[in-house]
Structure 1
Amino acid sequence: MKNNILILILTIIFMSCSSKSFDDKEKLWEYLRDSENGYLHTKNVNGYDFSIVYKPTDLMVTQELGQEYTKEDVEKFRKKYKKYIYFTLSMSRDNKELLSSTPKNRQEFGAMVNNLAFGMGEKVHVYTTKKDTLELLDYVYPRMYGMSKSTDMLFVYPRDENYLQDEYLNITVGDLGTYTGEVKFKIPTQKIKNEPKINF
């Protein structure tokens, strides 16, 4: 009887720690965008909507695969992208991009363009609860010229297992002329270590 209870407890622990898997990237995105699953974090500050979502390795892999691929292709790209962690930051006001909703004149517009294109390394920081800062390796800011409902950016950091030993990663987004002050998020590292996968 005691053995059966022990096996049941171990099974529950294992299942809660194991990664979820999905048949395609659309179903994975649906799971990620449900804030109850712990990957999407949102805040509204001073009329601005901010969201951070962790982008699992397999979503990066799907960008490399064509219509036909082998298991070896999948593993090759998983190995390539597994070295890094990816966050997508979205910012909007009234369902519009920042450049469409915030600047009041040409000078403010130019300053914001410069910040978004070249200055986000100074505005967005990721650090552990011990205040160790992760090095920003790259970020991607695609200009949408008012065609999108939000300003979306991809941030890339090294996947350092020492940093992932902490319970949380803290992400701060500095003020971009929005008068929102510094916006802070706490991302559970367990969600990154047990990231969901795609059944390729």
Structure 2
Amino acid sequence: MVKNSLLTVLLVLIITSCSKTFDTQEEMNEYLKDEDKGYNYRKTVVGVDYVLQYRPTDLLVKQELGDKADASQVDKLREKYSKYMYFNLSMSKNNQELLNGVARDKAKFGQMVNELAFGMEEKVHVYTPEKDTLAMADFIYPRMYGMSNATSILIVYPRDVKYLNQDHLNFVIQDLGLDTGDIKFKLNSKALQKEPQLQF
């Protein structure tokens, strides 16, 4: 238990010692959108748009803190969230949620709702170049009922130094019944190690 806490503290120190720092969440979000920085990946296959964006620890800290910037709380929350890597996967077709495209086919609609809500650990995989697979920690699929222009899922993986020391990580989304085949992104491990921070 003590060993795990020390590793987490060491990891937080490593991340904080060599990362880019921003004064506002808006500035950080702009930085993250730049595909050259290694936090944002895009692909369009047979009319389906995929956007995968990494969410740095401090964005989750800020979300929980709100406007209260208490230094002791910041450290506590950084330790809590830095144990994981958070990815926002956004998928759309014709600038609409995926479910809108299959709404007329009840069987396909039901199957896709089921996969999005309960089966993403079977459909999304992260693995190293040597094919070591990371086990998904969690995923959150908020139903938007047509109120959004994309289907978004927050996907969570444990942050393990031995995996992040690899040259890259492969993020693969299996075909969700849209005839896209498997969608693969090559994640920049160095960028994940030096994730940007917010100035609290």
- TM-score where L is the length of structure 2: 0.89
Return 5+ residue gaps in structure 1 as ranges: 1-16
Moved more, 122-131 or 25-34: 25-34
User: Deviations 1:97-131 (Å, cap 9, x if unpaired)?
Assistant: 00012354111111110010011110000001111
Distance 2:33 2:44 in 1: 16
Distance 2:169 2:102 in 1: 29
| Maintained 8 Å contact 1:43/1:49 | yes
- What does residue 124 of structure 1 align with? 124
The residue type paired with residue 45 of structure 2 is: V
- What does residue 43 of structure 1 align with? 43
Tell me which stretches of 4 or more aligned residues in structure 1 moved more than 6 Å: none
**1:36, CA displacement in angstroms?**
2.2
| Maintained 8 Å contact 1:168/1:187 | yes
From the superposition, tell whether residues 110 and 99 of structure 1 become closer, same or farther in structure 2 (CA, over 3 Å): same
- What does residue 8 of structure 2 align with? none
Tell me the SS of whatever aligns to 2:44.
strand
Moved more, 31-40 or 86-95: 31-40
**1:35, CA displacement in angstroms?**
1.3
Distance 2:68 2:36 in 1: 34
- What does residue 59 of structure 1 align with? 59
Moved more, 119-128 or 23-32: 23-32
Tell me the SS of whatever aligns to 2:122.
helix
User: Deviations 1:120-164 (Å, cap 9, x if unpaired)?
Assistant: 110000001111100101000000000101101011111110111
- How many aligned positions are there? 184
**1:41, CA displacement in angstroms?**
0.5
User: Deviations 1:2-33 (Å, cap 9, x if unpaired)?
Assistant: xxxxxxxxxxxxxxx93111111111111111
- What does residue 23 of structure 2 align with? 23
Tell me the SS of whatever aligns to 1:111.
helix
| Maintained 8 Å contact 1:102/1:178 | no
The residue type paired with residue 189 of structure 1 is: S
- What does residue 113 of structure 2 align with? 113
Tell me the SS of whatever aligns to 2:65.
coil
Distance 1:163 1:65 in 2: 29
Distance 1:184 1:104 in 2: 29
- What does residue 170 of structure 2 align with? 170
Tell me the SS of whatever aligns to 1:130.
coil
Distance 2:102 2:172 in 1: 20
| Maintained 8 Å contact 1:103/1:112 | no
| Maintained 8 Å contact 1:85/1:156 | yes
From the superposition, tell whether residues 56 and 29 of structure 1 become closer, same or farther in structure 2 (CA, over 3 Å): same
Distance 2:34 2:188 in 1: 15
Distance 1:29 1:109 in 2: 33
Tell me the SS of whatever aligns to 1:162.
helix
Tell me the SS of whatever aligns to 2:51.
strand
Residues 1-200 of structure 1 aligned to structure 2 (within 5 Å): 18-200=18-200
**1:64, CA displacement in angstroms?**
1.1
> Whose radius of gyration is greater, 1 or 2?
1
Sequence identity (%): 51
